[in-house]
Chain A
Amino acid sequence: MNSTTRNQPRTSRFAWAAARAVLFFLRARAILVLLLLLVLFSVLAPEFLTANNLSILTKHVAISALLAVGMTFVVLTGGIDLSVGSIAGLGGMVAGYLLTQGFSFGGAMYFPPVAVVILLTICACLVVGALNGWLVAKAGVAPFIATLGTLYIARGAALLISNGKTFPNLGGGAVRGNTGFPAFGQSFMLHVPTPVWMMVALFAVTWVVATKTPFGRHVYAIGGNERAARLAGIRVAQVKVITYVFSAFCAALVGLIIAAQLEAAHPATGESFELNAIAAVVLGGTSLMGGRGSVTGSLIGAFVIGVLADGLVMLGVSEFWQIVIKGVVIVLAVGLDQLQTRLQARILPYLTTAQAEEGKS
């Protein structure tokens, strides 16, 4: 301790303290913005901070959180997945078809039970995810283009399944033996909506994978420097395919949840969901260049967007201003991200040497 005071002038120590504080705030910006929004809306809208509303709010957040958490790995590898909204729409339509139309075997109708419907729906979505992965990792198509293509393919397929119509009455029938699907999105466990539990479970798994497993390190390594990762023996293509398939899995869950909530499957469901998910990922501090970011950040980012959306609705802010405000928040978040990167690059070396010297004495 003494050695540092002797070696460095006092003023610069203060400057460091200030810089360290600024850096702390920049790092924690997503959660700070979230807390700020919560305080703001609680003051302005009296109904905001009720258990009922917080339950509804979290249920809404779960949708973009599932997509954002699912897409985090893709973005960490330096990719992007524009197709998640369409995959969600496709998932809903597959489930709607199976529940209301069933299969016909030589004139006899067969309606699969709900669990089978859910499994088949997820499988259908995983196929699209695998196609994304194959296009990006094996065929070498740029992720933006590959997933833009599958965005259209999946949306077109969703429209084709029903010829543009809605599948209504997904509640099923006792005769068909396929009741209970709406519970997937509408039921509660311990007074918490089921979609929220799915979000929590998925987040927990993803967090463990990202921080505690070799696979997680591989994802970061590919995003940091793909060539180096390949030379280090990481199976880059395989890891990438898995990230896109996982993203599609999350999108399938979202499609099922929405179809279950509405008790109807509409082919246009999920339009522009991908943009919300990307915004959440970026708000959470994940770099679109890959290699830097966290699953926790994406979760917080989804909460920021969800709280903002619901809070502004409750305040009765004009829809047009809502759009503007959302855009401003996203741009500010990315601006701050750049600031953090630059500050970190400038300060961190000094900080670490100072800490090292402190440690020595």
Chain B
Amino acid sequence: MRRSLASFGCALVLLACAGCQRDEHRKKLIVIIVPSQDNPYFKAEADAAAARALALGYRVRVDAHEDDAFRQDNLVDAAIASNAAAIILDNAGADATVSAVRRATRAGIAVFLIDREIDATGIAKAQIISDNDQGARLVATEFARAMNGKGEYAELLGRESDSNAQIRTRGFHAVLDRYPELKLVSAQSANWSQSEAFQKTETMLQAHANIAGIIAGNDTMALGAGAAVKSAGGSNLRITGFDGSPDAIDAIKDGELRATALQPAVLISRLAVDEADRLLRTGSTGEPELQIIPCELVTASNADNYRNFEKVR
């Protein structure tokens, strides 16, 4: 038994050596870590980054942390162990990500944050995010226009611990509170979830029969609200979302939703990979750390111009 273990150990060492030699000829690795791969937004984001990195001649690995800071920590460790050249990260929490990013930076890996910021500057090479406040104001202005500036409305908020949920609701109210005849009758968190938005909306419609519009913190909740309105037999409610997901854009074409703010996820991913490439070749990204990219308003009049989080026309 002991002898067989010893020979097994030797075999492992030999294998490792073989591995090292092969490694020298390989291309540099870019690791892309996103919250999940079964959500269209993060999928589009990951796919765009991966495609651009492959086109620039890198090896690519895509991982998902499921919004779990501990899992994200392990994935960053794995990227360090794999000698990645750069990490493109859509992080799992502004506070809880700082230590992982610092560790990767100390290990000599360039970290590029996309979509969400962290609570520290000077560690990541870049933080490229979409302008949630500007997007929220865009949608709210369109919402107020669709409501003709008056009537009762309800709001569906995102997960309250998520900073984007707070930024969006603040942006909504910066616009809507200026209309004295627009009356907020109910504001509920549906935790970004379609099924939760469906239930909450059904309840809200029971309590407030005169609701004429629903402004939602993201598209999934807007679609849940739309389904609830439909099942309640109501119609002509003005519902708006946020994100610009393909489903929402289809719903806008069908008239179920009025508007959404498209987050330029694809553009941001490509920017991050391009800057990573520039940093690895020239030693500098040539850009400031914090880069804020504006959102775009999608309504029935321009819905055909957008596909999969990207302006195609």
Q: Does residue B10 face the partner (Cβ distance < 8 Å to A)?
A: no
Q: Are A263 and B81 in contact (CB under 8 A)?
A: no
Q: Report chain A residues within 8 Å CB of B70.
A: 63, 258, 261-262, 269-270
Q: Are A262 and B12 in contact (CB under 8 A)?
A: no
Q: Report chain A residues within 8 Å CB of B95.
A: 166-169, 264, 266
Q: Are A47 and B81 in contact (CB under 8 A)?
A: yes
Interface string of B169-195 (1 = CB under 8 A from A): 000000000000000000000000000
CA–CA, A163 and B70, complex, Å: 20
Q: Report chain A residues within 8 Å CB of B22.
A: 46
Which of the residues A50, A59, A313 comes within 8 Å of B16, measured between beta carbons? A50
Task: Give min CB distance, A187 to chain B, whole Å.
Answer: 13
Among B15, B20, B73, B98, residue most surrounded by chain A Cβ atoms (within 10 Å): B15
Q: Does residue A140 face the partner (Cβ distance < 8 Å to B)?
A: no
Task: Give min CB distance, B150 to chain A, whole Å.
Answer: 34
Which of the residues A38, A47, A57, A310 comes within 8 Å of B83, measured between beta carbons? A47
Least CB separation from B160: chain A residue: A164
Q: Are B37 and A53 in contact (CB under 8 A)?
A: no
Q: Report chain B residues within 8 Å CB of A268.
A: 67-68
Q: Report chain B residues within 8 Å CB of A258.
A: 70
Q: Are B74 and A319 in contact (CB under 8 A)?
A: no
Task: Give min CB distance, B128 to chain A, whole Å.
Answer: 22
CA–CA, A52 and B83, complex, Å: 10
CA–CA, A165 and B165, complex, Å: 13
Q: Does residue B63 face the partner (Cβ distance < 8 Å to A)?
A: yes
CA–CA, A310 and B37, complex, Å: 18
Interface string of B55-85 (1 = CB under 8 A from A): 0000011111001111001110110111100
**Number of A residues contacting the other chain (C-beta, 8 Å)?**
44
Q: Are B81 and A53 in contact (CB under 8 A)?
A: yes
Q: Are B81 and A262 in contact (CB under 8 A)?
A: no
Which of the residues B11, B69, B80, B99 comes within 8 Å of A266, measured between beta carbons? B69
Q: Are B11 and A39 in contact (CB under 8 A)?
A: yes
* Known contacts A39-B11, A39-B15, A310-B74, A168 near B23 by CB under 8 Å: no
Among B62, B64, B99, B119, residue most surrounded by chain A Cβ atoms (within 10 Å): B99
Q: Are A320 and B16 in contact (CB under 8 A)?
A: no
Q: Report chain A residues within 8 Å CB of B60.
A: 316
Q: Are A166 and B93 in contact (CB under 8 A)?
A: yes
Q: Does residue A43 face the partner (Cβ distance < 8 Å to B)?
A: yes
CA–CA, A337 and B95, complex, Å: 44
Least CB separation from B1: chain A residue: A28
Q: Does residue A201 face the partner (Cβ distance < 8 Å to B)?
A: no
CA–CA, A50 and B20, complex, Å: 9
Among B23, B81, B94, residue most surrounded by chain A Cβ atoms (within 10 Å): B81
Task: Give min CB distance, B166 to chain A, whole Å.
Answer: 11
Among B12, B20, B77, residue most surrounded by chain A Cβ atoms (within 10 Å): B77
Least CB separation from B70: chain A residue: A258
CA–CA, A49 and B77, complex, Å: 15
Query: Using a CB-CB cutoff of 8 Å, which residues 87-113 of chain A contact chain B?
Result: none
Least CB separation from B19: chain A residue: A46
Q: Are A47 and B15 in contact (CB under 8 A)?
A: no
Q: Are B73 and A261 in contact (CB under 8 A)?
A: yes
Q: Are A56 and B15 in contact (CB under 8 A)?
A: no
Least CB separation from A264: chain B residue: B96
Q: Report chain B residues within 8 Å CB of A262.
A: 69-70, 73, 96, 99-100
CA–CA, A49 and B75, complex, Å: 17
CA–CA, A262 and B118, complex, Å: 13
Least CB separation from B61: chain A residue: A316
Q: Are B16 and A60 in contact (CB under 8 A)?
A: no
Interface residues in chain A, defined as those with a beta carbon under 8 Å from any beta carbon in chain B: 35, 38-39, 42-43, 45-50, 52-53, 56-57, 59-60, 63, 164-169, 182, 186, 258, 261-264, 266, 268-271, 309-310, 313-314, 316, 318-320
- What are 29 A-to-B residue pairs whose CB atoms are below 8 Å? A35-B8, A38-B12, A42-B19, A45-B19, A50-B16, A50-B81, A52-B80, A52-B81, A53-B81, A56-B80, A57-B81, A164-B159, A168-B94, A168-B95, A168-B98, A169-B95, A263-B98, A264-B96, A266-B93, A266-B95, A268-B68, A269-B68, A269-B69, A269-B70, A310-B74, A313-B61, A314-B78, A314-B81, A316-B60
